[in-house]
Amino acid sequence: MKRLLIAAALAFGVASPALADHQGGHHDHGASHAAISQARALEVASAQGVTRVREIELRRGVWKVEGFTAAGRAIEVEIDAQSGAVVKRELQ
């Protein structure tokens, strides 16, 4: 299991105010088969309202992004790693 800083992903061109609370987890379960990069998944999550990322992982063909909205509400967004389509968006 690889651990990556979300800040590193942001450095690769994610155009969003998403900031990591701590070191996020990136579980490489099929990353070589993902058409959507981690940076692109973060862009999609940002468009869905994620402004601060807590964790991101790729599992079974789905990027799972957990974080917070600008209002401080917990949010989870799941993105299909092949198409980039949002398959789940949950505010808590």
Q: Which residues fall within 8 angstroms of residue 44, CB to CB, at 6 or more apart?
A: 36, 63, 77, 79, 84, 86
- At residue 9, does pLDDT exceed 70? no
Mean pLDDT of 68-72: 98
Q: What is the CATH number of the domain that holds 43?
A: 3.10.450.40
pLDDT tens by residue, 29-55: 455 578 999 999 999 999 999 999 999
pLDDT of the residue at 10 = 36
pLDDT of the residue at 32 = 56
Eight-state DSSP code of residue 3: E
How much is the pTM? 0.67
Q: Which residues fall within 8 angstroms of residue 57, CB to CB, at 6 or more apart?
A: 24, 25, 26, 27, 63, 64
HEC string of 29-68 equals: CCHHHCCCCHHHHHHHHHHCCCCEEEEEEEECCEEEEEEE
pLDDT of the residue at 31 = 53
Query: Which residue is associated with the tokens 């998944």?
Result: 41
Give the residue numbers spanning the domain of 62. 2-91
pLDDT of the residue at 80 = 98
Total count of domains within the chain:
1
